[in-house]
Amino acid sequence: MLLSLFLMLKRTPGNSEVQYSAEMPKPNNFMKLKAWRGRLHRPILLLVIFALLMFIITLSKFYSVRSIFPTDTFCNHMKPESRNGTGSEVRITMQTVIQKIQLEMSTMRDMLSNSSSSASLSRYSAFLADILALIESTQSSLPFSEDPHQHDSERSSLHPLSNGPADYFFIEEMRKYVRMKPNRLGKKNFMGANGTFTSVGHACFAVKKELEEYMDYDIGEICNDDWKLAQKLMIHGCDPLPRRRCFSRAPKLYSRPFPINESLWKLPNNRNVRWSQYRCKNFTCLASNSTGKGFFKCADCFNLSHHEIPRWIEQVNLQPNLNLTADFLIPEVLEIKPGEIRIGLDFSVGTGTFAARMREFNVTIVSAAINLGAPFNEMIALRGLVPLYLTINQRLPFFDNSLDMIHTTRFLDGWIDFVLLDFVLYDWDRVIRPGGLLWIDSFFCLKEDLDDYLEAFKMLRYKKHKWVVVPKLDRDDREVFFSAVLEKPPRPFRIM
Ligand SMILES: *[C@@H]1O[C@H](CO)[C@@H](O)[C@H](O)[C@H]1NC(C)=O
Ligand SMILES: *[C@@H]1O[C@H](CO)[C@@H](O)[C@H](O)[C@H]1NC(C)=O
Ligand SMILES: *[C@@H]1O[C@H](CO)[C@@H](O)[C@H](O)[C@H]1NC(C)=O
Ligand SMILES: *[C@@H]1O[C@H](CO)[C@@H](O)[C@H](O)[C@H]1NC(C)=O
Ligand SMILES: *[C@@H]1O[C@H](CO)[C@@H](O)[C@H](O)[C@H]1NC(C)=O
Ligand SMILES: *[C@@H]1O[C@H](CO)[C@@H](O)[C@H](O)[C@H]1NC(C)=O
Ligand SMILES: *[C@@H]1O[C@H](CO)[C@@H](O)[C@H](O)[C@H]1NC(C)=O
Ligand SMILES: *[C@@H]1O[C@H](CO)[C@@H](O)[C@H](O)[C@H]1NC(C)=O
Ligand SMILES: *[C@@H]1O[C@H](CO)[C@@H](O)[C@H](O)[C@H]1NC(C)=O
């Protein structure tokens, strides 16, 4: 489209100036341009117009839909004092663009009087590249770039943060929640902030309708039975969710959990879980080996008595013809760092069995879990272990260099985007202490993807204690398992 516009300009340069004069940012720029026209080479003039045209198109694409008065949008945004808010950075860049064009024009005037048109042309292509880069950076720094053809009533929603996030929502409780809460007496609090900034995930703006349903309640009453809606919102990026001021529902007759010497390996009391959103209505149903009752990734993991009990303690998944396994045992992993592994995170799909076993080795493990298809969090908690209700969307809530170990299984298999995997691994690396272990447990993916995934893990430059790739025999030999135990090196790397 731009190319055709350019060609059109080329054919009718005289008209184009008149057409664009109405939209020119500053009248004086245009006047100067016109005054120089006689002295300039025509192609160079066209290039300048082209650059300005790009600039105008880019601007109008993002601003015309925003303004209440679309006709004077452009002018508004060219005056630095006209509006405050999130656009200030953009305006500064725009100012830079204009100054650059002005400077360039006067330099060009000099160059032309020295009459070396080829030098000036090459100079001009560099100049255009510069302007384009600036415009592009402006584009990416704009807060939101939604479809400009949206409904009129949603106009204000295009730049949700321009007047603070509160104005984006209609539900009063949501508006109250996201507004900054200034400290009383107007002083900084003990943490050094002059207010409290309650936060929500940025994608909350994209799931506005559901979020408003979630936030629509009576203060002080019992909340709706909507944990599933809440979880859906979290998974879709509205994470963290806003807090609420209603009482969450609980099982009607909560019975005392079993004592810790029993709870670790016993199915909990069914009454301590709210079953309304699940297909199974009790733990026996989840544990019985019938497909489609729980969560497909973990069909057996409620069967503590058979499936779970040998895990990480006995070799179970040995493939007889190959004598290979991707499962390492806890004792052999702990042997790498005797006595050093005390606390860690299990980022897996499961019922906490890893944490239960590690507890027996005097290691405290927190198990990240969400309730996909089965009450994983309740199960882990009722076993006497710590569940961490956490999605993959969030930075881990641990400080840098604090954990001795991160273990992961059945979670990051083959579906995960490489860029996301990179962010996840760097975050895990942040949290693991120097000398701490990352245990990748039976990561599986397609054979052809393996090399790319292995590159992602190698990127960490960890010391390899264990590293195996085992073919997965159940699916036409197309998938492989990968397991590794890696040690985080000290950083910054020692200079040899
Ligand atoms: C914009 O902010 C400045 C201070 O940053 C202030 O002096 C000025 O009055 C504000 N302008 C408008 C239109 O709000
Ligand atoms: C043009 O030539 C004059 C001397 O003839 C010189 O002073 C000036 O710097 C030159 N300008 C450019 C842009 O090369
Ligand atoms: C809080 O402090 C920041 C600067 O640290 C200031 O810009 C802001 O206006 C202050 N807000 C209130 C409510 O005092
Ligand atoms: C668990 O411990 C309690 C005392 O703390 C004891 O009475 C009970 O028998 C123990 N249960 C098992 C299964 O060992
Ligand atoms: C568990 O639920 C299943 C169906 O979901 C039902 O057939 C079974 O009787 C229940 N068992 C117990 C002990 O409540
Ligand atoms: C666990 O699995 C075993 C073997 O498949 C089965 O015999 C047992 O009944 C299962 N446990 C429960 C609670 O269903
Ligand atoms: C459950 O059934 C599947 C087949 O449907 C089988 O492969 C698996 O070994 C069974 N699990 C247990 C614990 O019996
Ligand atoms: C499998 O390999 C291990 C060593 O890796 C060996 O000790 C064991 O005897 C082998 N088992 C069979 C059945 O070949
Ligand atoms: C765990 O700690 C207890 C008490 O300190 C000790 O008796 C036990 O031997 C330890 N277990 C392991 C596997 O180190």
Residue 290 has pLDDT above 80, yes or no: no
Per mean pLDDT, which range of 38-42, 68-72, 187-191, 248-252 is the poorest? 68-72
User: How many A from CA of 402 to the centre of ligand 9?
Assistant: 23
Per cent of the chain over pLDDT 90 is 43
3-state SS of the chain is CHHHHHHHHHHCHHHHHHHHHCCCCCHHHHHHHHHHHCCCCHHHHHHHHHHHHHHHHHHHHHHCCCCCCHHHHHHHHHCCCCCCCCCHHHHHHHHHHHHHHHHHHHHHHHHHHCCCHHHHHHHHHHHHHHHHHHHHHHHHHCCCCCCCCCCHHHHHHHCCCCCCHHHHCCCHHHHHHHCCEECHHHCCCCCCCCEECCCCCHHHHCCHHHHHHHCCCCCCCECCCCHHHHHHHHHCCCCCCCCCCCECCCCCCCCCCCCHHHHCCCCCCHHHCCCCCCCCCCHHHHHCCCCCCCCHHHCCCCCHHHHHCCCCCCCCCCECCCCECCCCCHHHHHCCCCCCCCEEEEECCCCCHHHHHHHHCCCEEEEEECCCCCCHHHHHHHCCCEEEECCCCCCCCCCCCCEEEEEEECCCCCCCCHHHHHHHHHHHHHHEEEEEEEEEEEEEEEHHHHHHHHHHHHCCCCEEEEEEEEEECCCCCCEEEEEEEEECCCCCCCCC
Which residue type occupies 2? L
221 lines ligand 4 (CB under 6 A): no
> What pLDDT is stored for residue 31 in this prediction?
47
Ligand 4 atom with the smallest distance to the CA of 259 is 1
pLDDT tens column, 440-475: 999 988 889 999 999 999 999 999 999 999 887 766
User: How many A from CA of 257 to the centre of ligand 4?
Assistant: 13
Residue ID of nearest Cα to ligand 2 atom 14: 111
pLDDT tens column, 366-375: 999 999 989 9
**Ligand 7 pocket check: which of 286, 288, 289 to mutate, most ligand atoms within 8 Å of Cβ?**
289
**Ligand 3 pocket check: which of 84, 187, 189, 194 to mutate, most ligand atoms within 8 Å of Cβ?**
194
Q: Which two tokens stand for residue 29?
A: 């720029």
pLDDT tens column, 358-368: 999 999 999 99
Domain range annotation of the chain: 2-141, 164-235, 260-487
Rounded Cα distance between 210 and 204, Å, is 9
Residue 175 has pLDDT above 80, yes or no: yes
Rounded Cα distance between 484 and 311, Å, is 17
Residue ID of nearest Cα to ligand 7 atom 2: 289
Per cent of the chain over pLDDT 70 is 70
Q: Could you tell me which residue, 296 or 382, shows the higher pLDDT?
A: 382
Average pLDDT over residues 14-37: 43
> What pLDDT is stored for residue 152 in this prediction?
41
> What pLDDT is stored for residue 160 in this prediction?
45
Residue ID of nearest Cα to ligand 3 atom 7: 194
pTM of structure: 0.68
Residue 25 near residue 74, CB atoms below 8 Å: yes
Question: What Rg value do the Cα atoms of the chain yield, rounded?
Answer: 31
User: How many A from CA of 185 to the centre of ligand 3?
Assistant: 13
> What average pLDDT is seen over the chain?
79
Report which listed range, 80-94, 129-143, 463-477, is most confident.
463-477
> What pLDDT is stored for residue 86 in this prediction?
52
Which CATH number is correct for 260-487, 3.40.50.150, 3.30.70.270, 3.40.50.970, 3.40.50.1370?
3.40.50.150
User: How many A from CA of 48 to the centre of ligand 2?
Assistant: 22
Residue 84 has pLDDT above 80, yes or no: no
* Tokens 């500064």, residue located: 92
Residue ID of nearest Cα to ligand 6 atom 9: 288
Residue 173 near residue 219, CB atoms below 8 Å: yes
Crossing angle for the helix pair 27-37 and 13-21, to the nearest 10 degrees: 160
Residue 17 has pLDDT above 50, yes or no: no
Instruction: Place 99 in a pLDDT band, splitting at 50, 70 and 90.
Output: confident
